Structure 1
Amino acid sequence: MEKALYIDCFSGISGNMMVGALLDLGVDFLFLKDELKKLNITGYNIVCREVKTGSIKAKKFDVEVTSPQPDRNYGDVKKIIGDSKLDTGVKKISLSIFQLIAEAESVVHGCEVDNVHFHEIGAVDSIIDIVSTAVCLSKLKVKLFYSNIVPMGSGFINSSHGKLPVPAPATVEILKKVPVYGGNFDFEITTPTGAAIIKALVKGYGSVPYMEIEKAGYGAGNIESKEGPNVLRLLRGVIKNEYDIREEKLIMLSANIDDSTPEIIGYLMEELFKKDVLDVWTEPIYMKKSRPAFKISVLCNEKSEKEIVNMILVESTTLGIRREEIKRYSVDRELKTVKLPYGEVKVKVGILKAKEINFAPEFESCRKLAEVTGKTLKEIYHDAVLFFSKR
């Protein structure tokens, strides 16, 4: 079982809506306030109050600017976060969100990423919204993120760059390759910050995954709408099914190659393993006119599919690739350590319904220990299995 968060953005998403919903899930407001003190930023105050939007009770989070703020670019923001005493995980999440916004703004306005000067990233409220999101997520220890299809709204907004269409150009840039729709809202319901939060975190889009909901949190937006409550709903829970077996949709790519050399095929396999793939393998086959050939297959996620296809076409002699959508079942895995008389070895463990059902010494860990100790690989494998079984 893994902790999961479903972002139900039926009314869009913004930075302050996200923070409000996370606080409504149970993150302590005073804890957040203390964590934000680790940023070397002054001239602001944060408030959180309970409101009703439509008939739904929600938390409304706001940043009140109490004194003028200096002009900041993305380079300044990176330094502020990097020099802070925030936890490493909080810094990583914060910077991944800021990076998406900065890259989008640099494309829209035609400037270098680090030199981007714009209201969305330079304003203290955006900095606090994003870092607060990271602090709350770290506190909740969520590992998996899902979202419904993202609504964008319509109309026009006034910004520091003048009048802009909705969705804002930066929002469109950020949401490339993310499933979206316009919605019935005639205002900006998904902001660049909200879009970047989703893009940085979410791995799956659609309906609520098979999960056990533990709590729901609601964060209020700034605009009252006739189309429905302007709130963001977060569902916190654990991903599980009847047998605690994972069900994944994966992509299998394959090509039959009869006009290449073993050296080229071997090199291609090595390069593919460096990418975001789950497995790569080859099979000896016979093709027309009894030609001996290779069948190369790659298992990957849809996210990395295009990159893998491009590599196979560029690095091999094939002119086409087959694609199949497959379903894979798997159990939870953990990497544990077993102590041997002469060192330590990592062991991969399969877990089903909270029980260890299988294990195997991790090859690279065994190989490194063999190089250091001079013992044979098979001896280390044998000892790792023996000592792990006797725990």
Structure 2
Amino acid sequence: MTRVLYVDCIGGVAGDMLLGALLDAGATVDLSAFELEVERGTADRHGITAVTTTVTGAAEQPHRDWGTIRELIAAADLPERAAARAQEAFKRLAIAEGRIHDMPPERVHFHEVGAIDAIGEIVGVALALESLGIDKVLCSPLPMGRGFVKAAHGNLPLPAPATLELLKGAPIHGVELELELVTPTGAALVAALAEGYGPLPRMTLDKTGYGAGTRDLKPFPNVVRAIIGTEATTGTVSLIEANLDDLIPELAPDAAAACFAAGALDVWTAPVSMKHGRPGFVFSALARPEHQRAVVEAVLRETSTLGVRVAHLDRVELQRDFLTVEVGGEPVKIKVGRLDGKVVNLAPEHADCERAARITGEPVKVVWARALSEAHART
């Protein structure tokens, strides 16, 4: 079962707000490896009781470059997935700041985000996700205020340049407030963690949590909401198609690879007869709503079409997990499909079967059959 977090940016998003929302949803965080602590409080935002967080540590903290922060995180012995998430957030910050200030990312010194509270917030969010067992993160569109914010380099326009650089490709909208609603730290976390943006996805709801921003705003609650559940086995998918009669066939696999990289669930072609009797084919890709735009853009970039059609379909899926068996001493992963908890499908991973066949000298079909037999015996 895939555990999903939907980040609902009602009042924007900042590192302390997202950390508070995850703690409110039941996460636990230990920052003792960094000699830091998270002080937790509460605040009322339009009648909603939300969690506030403050990271505390040594009073004096130096400005740090990306390499120093990378080493700090690597030396902290964090869970592998948590460390990777934290490193990715700071990597994106370094690249964004480097582009804004016209310098290599390795030379970027984090003035605002290099403070110990931001390190604690980013690592704290990564650890909180691990505590909650989150496998997938999705995010709502982000509200943006305007005005100016004081920074190390002077007064910066809002949204901050680094925030906009980090959120390229994300859906944003302006609101009539002269206030920073999305901070660079919040933007880095969303950009690093979210697999897609859009409305609340279908899920079996498990937990919710609210994290409060510093100010109490009149127009709307200044909170970010964490909505956590298991990915639904039924949902809507987008069927993206184009009819092609002028694409070199050798390029079709490259277009398919680009669609898969953009998040497509499946890609295929089917022969058709087109106008003037020309032989052609339909290029089809299936994607979840949050990946629709990226897959559409991949089709438009990688094929010769001038447009695509998109249909929205219901899709029913089996509950999925994996197990690993051994054939000739070599591991082979097995996809397991369940219906109401009962195993109804087992499928050995072909790439694992090929690898095991090369090592053992057995035909692929023999490895495949043995792996399937072992999987049946174990389920």
Q: Match of 2:6, SS?
A: strand
Q: Which whole-Å deviations, capped at 9, do the CAs of 1:247-293 have from their partners, x for residues lacking one?
A: 24235343423574x6x357647865884444443444445565555
Equivalent residues in 2 for 1:376-391 (5 A)? 376-391=363-378
Aligned counterpart, 1:252: 240
1:344 CA displacement: 4.4
Residues 60 and 220 of structure 1 are in contact (CA less than 8 Å); yes or no, is this contact kept in structure 2?
A: yes
- Structure 1 residue 103 and structure 2 residue 106: aligned? no
Identity %: 34
Residue 88 of structure 1 aligns with an amino acid whose one-letter code is E
- Structure 1 residue 85 and structure 2 residue 80: aligned? no
Aligned counterpart, 1:168: 160
- Structure 1 residue 126 and structure 2 residue 93: aligned? no
The structure 1 residue matched to 2:321, chosen from 298, 314, 334, is 334
Residue 222 of structure 2 aligns with an amino acid whose one-letter code is N
Residue 33 of structure 2 aligns with an amino acid whose one-letter code is K
Residues 174 and 195 of structure 1 are in contact (CA less than 8 Å); yes or no, is this contact kept in structure 2?
A: yes
Aligned counterpart, 1:348: 335
Residue 87 of structure 1 aligns with an amino acid whose one-letter code is P
Q: Match of 2:33, SS?
A: coil
Aligned counterpart, 1:315: none
- The ranges of structure 1 where at least 4 consecutive aligned residues each deviate by more than 6 angstroms after the TM superposition are none
- Structure 1 residue 26 and structure 2 residue 26: aligned? yes
Q: Match of 1:59, SS?
A: strand
Cα distance change on mapping 1:373 and 1:191 into 2, 3 Å: same
Equivalent residues in 2 for 1:70-219 (5 A)? 70-219=62-211
Aligned counterpart, 1:17: 17
Q: Match of 1:62, SS?
A: strand
Q: Which whole-Å deviations, capped at 9, do the CAs of 1:319-340 have from their partners, x for residues lacking one?
A: 6454434434432322322344
Residues 258 and 294 of structure 1 are in contact (CA less than 8 Å); yes or no, is this contact kept in structure 2?
A: no
Aligned counterpart, 1:311: 302
Aligned counterpart, 1:360: 347
1:104 CA displacement: 1.8
- Unmatched 5+ stretches in structure 2: none
Residues 119 and 160 of structure 1 are in contact (CA less than 8 Å); yes or no, is this contact kept in structure 2?
A: yes
1:237 CA displacement: 2.4
Cα distance change on mapping 1:37 and 1:304 into 2, 3 Å: farther
Residues 300 and 306 of structure 2 are in contact (CA less than 8 Å); yes or no, is this contact kept in structure 1?
A: no
1:10 CA displacement: 0.9
1:137 CA displacement: 0.8
1:140 CA displacement: 0.6
Q: Which whole-Å deviations, capped at 9, do the CAs of 1:232-259 have from their partners, x for residues lacking one?
A: 222222333xxxx332423534342357
Q: Match of 2:12, SS?
A: coil
Q: Which whole-Å deviations, capped at 9, do the CAs of 1:99-144 have from their partners, x for residues lacking one?
A: 2222222222211112112323321111111111111111111123
Structure number, greater radius of gyration: 1
Residues 366 and 377 of structure 1 are in contact (CA less than 8 Å); yes or no, is this contact kept in structure 2?
A: yes
CA RMSD of aligned residues (A): 2.8
Residues 251 and 305 of structure 1 are in contact (CA less than 8 Å); yes or no, is this contact kept in structure 2?
A: no
Q: Which whole-Å deviations, capped at 9, do the CAs of 1:12-47 have from their partners, x for residues lacking one?
A: 11111111122222224xxx2xx32223xx5x6542
TM-score (norm 1): 0.84
The structure 1 residue matched to 2:33, chosen from 28, 35, 38, is 38
1:174 CA displacement: 1.6
Residue 374 of structure 2 aligns with an amino acid whose one-letter code is F
Aligned counterpart, 1:375: 362
Aligned counterpart, 1:234: 226
Q: Which whole-Å deviations, capped at 9, do the CAs of 1:209-239 have from their partners, x for residues lacking one?
A: 3333333222221112222432222222233
Deviates more, 1:283-292 or 1:56-65: 283-292
Q: Match of 2:113, SS?
A: helix
Q: Which whole-Å deviations, capped at 9, do the CAs of 1:182-221 have from their partners, x for residues lacking one?
A: 2243311211111222222223434333333333222221
Residue 65 of structure 2 aligns with an amino acid whose one-letter code is N
For residues 212 and 146 of structure 1, what CA distance do their matches in structure 2 show?
15
- Unmatched 5+ stretches in structure 1: 313-317
Residues 334 and 347 of structure 2 are in contact (CA less than 8 Å); yes or no, is this contact kept in structure 1?
A: yes
TM-score (norm 2): 0.86
Residue 324 of structure 1 aligns with an amino acid whose one-letter code is V
Residue 161 of structure 1 aligns with an amino acid whose one-letter code is H
Q: Match of 1:122, SS?
A: coil
Aligned counterpart, 2:268: 281
Q: Match of 1:224, SS?
A: coil
Q: Match of 2:374, SS?
A: helix
Aligned counterpart, 1:59: 51
1:362 CA displacement: 2.0
